[in-house]
């Protein structure tokens, strides 16, 4: 077992996108009829960030979508939500097997993610090992997003300091390290498994 564990708390904090599940930005862009998600109208992108912080409802987000992209006004709500959710793919290859090994060894897996309620529900539908994850701290519930220290505090209040934390964004890992979390930039399943077990 990794000697770097500073806690007996057998909790592993997992970012979702890029760690547990693949994100398909190009497919999502095609769903919106553009080449890149960066081409979406700035007010709509701001509304997406507000949605991920729980500052607006799904319905308010939908209204902004229709106001800023009038070409979507012929689409029904389900089509718009489907376009938004098309970014959420399936498992990162190998993560299901690692998750099963971890749970079998007594670890508790907890999501720690910047996401909207809609995307969290899509992850629950798409991720094969979702039933193995027994808790979550989502930005839309927390009212703030990583790397804001407040969301790390919320995680600690709910689950304690995790023994390990994996994320695919360096700034989020740096924020974890500042709190003395045993944090690791996710570069693949083999590296994550070695970090825990070697």
Distances (CA, A) of 165 to 11, 155, 156, 158: 9, 11, 12, 15
175 and 156 Cβ atoms separated by less than 8 Å: no
The two structure tokens encoding residue 82:
């489907």
Containing structural domain, residue 16? 11-21+91-197
CA angle, 88 as apex, 87 and 93 as ends, to 5°? 120
Q: Are 173 and 111 in a shared domain?
A: yes
Whether 95 and 157 map to the same domain: the answer is: yes
Domain match, 70 and 108 both? no
Q: Do residue 180 and residue 146 come from a single domain?
A: yes
Instruction: Report the number of distinct structural domains present in the chain.
Output: 2
pLDDT in tens, the chain (198 residues): 444 444 578 999 999 999 999 999 888 888 888 888 888 999 999 999 999 999 999 999 999 999 998 887 788 999 999 999 999 999 999 999 999 999 999 999 999 999 999 999 999 999 999 999 999 999 999 999 999 999 999 999 999 999 999 999 999 999 999 999 999 999 999 999 999 998
């Amino acid at each position: 077992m990794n000697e770097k564990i500073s806690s007996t708390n057998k909790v592993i904090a997992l970012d979702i996108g890029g760690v547990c599940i693949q994100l398909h930005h190009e497919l999502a862009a095609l769903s919106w009829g553009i080449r890149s998600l960066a081409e979406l109208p700035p007010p709509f992108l701001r509304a997406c960030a507000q949605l991920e912080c729980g500052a607006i409802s799904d319905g308010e987000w939908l209204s902004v979508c229709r106001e800023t992209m009038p070409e979507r006004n012929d689409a029904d709500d389900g089509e718009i939500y489907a376009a938004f959710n098309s970014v959420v793919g399936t498992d990162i290859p190998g993560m299901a097997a690692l998750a099963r090994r971890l749970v079998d060894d007594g670890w508790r897996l907890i999501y720690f993610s910047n996401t909207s309620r809609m995307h969290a529900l899509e992850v629950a539908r798409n991720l094969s090992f979702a039933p193995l994850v027994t808790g979550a701290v989502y930005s839309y519930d927390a009212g703030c997003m990583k790397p804001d220290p407040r969301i790390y505090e919320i995680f600690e209040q709910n689950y304690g300091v995790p023994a390990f934390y994996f994320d695919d964004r360096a700034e989020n890992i740096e924020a974890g390290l500042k709190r003395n979390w045993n944090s690791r930039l996710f570069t693949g399943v083999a590296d994550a498994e070695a970090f825990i077990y070697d």
